[in-house]
Amino acid sequence: MGTATFNTQYVPDPFNLPAATIVSRALDLGVTAFDTSPYYGPSETILGEALAHTSVTSRHARSSYFLVTKAGRIAGDEFDYSPAWVRYSVYRSLERLHTPYLDLVYAHDVEFVSPAEVLAAVRELRRLRDEDGVLRYVGISGYPVAVLADLAAMILRETGEPLDAVLSYGHLTIQNTTLSGAAMMSRFADARVDVVLNASMLGMGLLTTRGADAGPMASWHPSPEGLRQACQDLVPLAVDAGEKLEVVAIRWALDHWATVGAARGSSSGNSRLKPAGTRVGVSVMGISNVAELEETCRVFNSVMEGFQPDSTTDADLMARRQWSRDRRAKIEAIVEKMWAVLGTWKDYSWASPGPGFVNTRKAADRGVTPDDGVLDRYKPKTVVEVNVAEVPAVL
């Protein structure tokens, strides 16, 4: 579950979201990983308060869910990947999220800084893992897939240790399928990346009925106007098929990444949906209300049912499996028509960073951290002892 939606970029007042209810319901549904970032406005604070709410703490131990955040991106055009800032950011996230440890921390939006800066940030995150014991896994996130693959290879080459995770967003959608290319997946395999996650299945709002030009997204979405219009041209195609564009986009992305991303996926612990231990491509979906959460979980469970072996003898499961396969065929047919409408906009990626980008964080200020007491309150502790058997099989 992504929580970039706990932010004014997506909703007018994120503090009015029923965050504790959403998080509690997510855990009840078996959603055991939460993704956030200090760049997402109040997201870390809102998620942390939700996780600390008695409706969660009374029924769910910290070891029962996987907590993911990021470091390095401060604002839209401000980045600080220095070890000092990364360390400060991690300890501030611990405080905001009310947790003694983080499961995974990404260097956030790596394409905006130099490879040397990314390497320095990754080294510091690993030091925080090995010496301070406040995090368990280290990864990178960003938009240009080729850059992510380049950096994953560089980090393995320079450190001798592969990345635990790479988060790609907006590149396995009905508009952009770049991440699913065999050559690209091979590059991540060669870099020995354990898990590659697919985020933003709706293209940060592009692939919705209201589109990126409606609501808060209009002021910041990086897509060009032509792409926005092309995505809106998909809405009537979905309607003519008796569907919503959002439903088609989510179903298609979940279905495809579950299998295409399986080699770089996570272990499935739900034997009803797939044999225990089977790897499944990991998708991240931003949620802003319980209805979205429940619908996405329903779709994902249906997708998994479609992969059940023909040898099953459970009549009810056989019926659901067949329904899922029929549903997959219908969605595939709709998406084929959508690709024809998208034309040259299919697999289009906007430039990131855009032309003329300048990091507004002055060189002299990099590594300068606020005097707010965060580091004093979190002196390095002994390595957190985690019972691995109790940790959900997410990575």
pTM: 0.92
Domain boundaries, the chain: 14-378
What is the distance, to the nearest Å, from the Cα of residue 161 to the centroid of all Cα atoms in its chain? Answer: 22
* 3-class secondary-structure state, position 4: coil
Cα separation of 69 and 388, whole Å? 20
**In this model, does residue 38 exceed pLDDT 50?**
yes
Beta strands across the sheet bearing 165-169: 33-35, 66-71, 102-107, 135-142, 165-169, 195-199, 282-284
**In this model, does residue 275 exceed pLDDT 80?**
no
What average pLDDT does the chain have? 92
73 vs 393, higher pLDDT:
73
Asked whether the bond before 353 is cis by omega within 30 degrees of 0, the reply is yes
Residues catalogued as catalytic: 40
Fold of 14-378: TIM Barrel (3.20.20)
Q: What are phi and psi of 248, to 5 degrees?
A: -60, -45
The average pLDDT across 370-393 equals: 65
- For the chain, give the number of residues: 395
The first and second tokens of residue 44, run together, are 């870390």
Would you say 270 and 278 are in contact if contact means Cβ atoms under 8 Å apart?
no
* 3-class secondary-structure state, position 68: strand
Q: DSSP character for 384?
A: P
Q: What are phi and psi of 168, to 5 degrees?
A: -105, 140
Query: Range with the lowest mean pLDDT among 10-19, 149-158, 223-232?
Result: 10-19
| Structure confidence at residue 76 (pLDDT) | 93
CA separation, residue 371 to residues 151, 227, 375, 377 (Å): 33, 44, 9, 12
The average pLDDT across 145-155 equals: 98
* Reported confidence tier of residue 10, pLDDT bands at 50, 70, 90: confident
Cα separation of 186 and 262, whole Å? 13
| Structure confidence at residue 111 (pLDDT) | 98
* Reported confidence tier of residue 258, pLDDT bands at 50, 70, 90: very high
Pairing mode of beta strands 266-267, 195-199:
unpaired
| Structure confidence at residue 172 (pLDDT) | 98
